[in-house]
Amino acid sequence: MKTQTKEFEGIPVLELSGRFDAHTVPQVSDWIKIKMTDQPHLVIDLVNVTFVDSAALATLVQGMKQCREQDGDLLLCRLAQPVRIIFELTRLDRAFAIFDSVPAAVAALKSEAATA
C-alpha cells in the first residue's frame, strides 16, 4: 500500500492506494494517532484502494471513535466500487460519513465544527 499525506483547507488528508490489510494497518493507525494530537478532524481518501480486510475496517472504526472522543470526526471519501461493496456488506457505510470528494468531506467537517 502506498500512502500520501496532504492537507486540504487545514484538514489532514491521508490518501491510500493498493491493499489496505493487516500488513499495512500500522501505517494508518500511526498516522491517525499522530494527526489527532493537533487536529481531531481527519479525512481518509480511499480512491485507489483495491481491497480492505477486517483489520483495516477495525482500524478505521477505532480511528473514528478516537476522533469523536476528541469532539472531531474521521470521514472517508472516494471509495472504489469493490471497497464500497465491503462497506455496504458490513453496514459500515451507515457508521461512516462517506463523500465523493475530498473537498466535500472537508466542507462537511468545517460545517460540523462551526455548529459545535
User: What is 2-108's CATH number?
Assistant: 3.30.750.24
- Name which residue leads in pLDDT, 100 or 39: 100
For 49-82, write each residue's pLDDT tens digit.
999 999 999 999 999 999 999 999 999 999 999 9
Task: Convert the pLDDT of each residue in 81-97 to its tens digit.
Answer: 999 999 999 999 999 99
Question: Using only C-alpha atoms, what is the Rg of the chain?
Answer: 13
Cell matching residue 105: 468531506
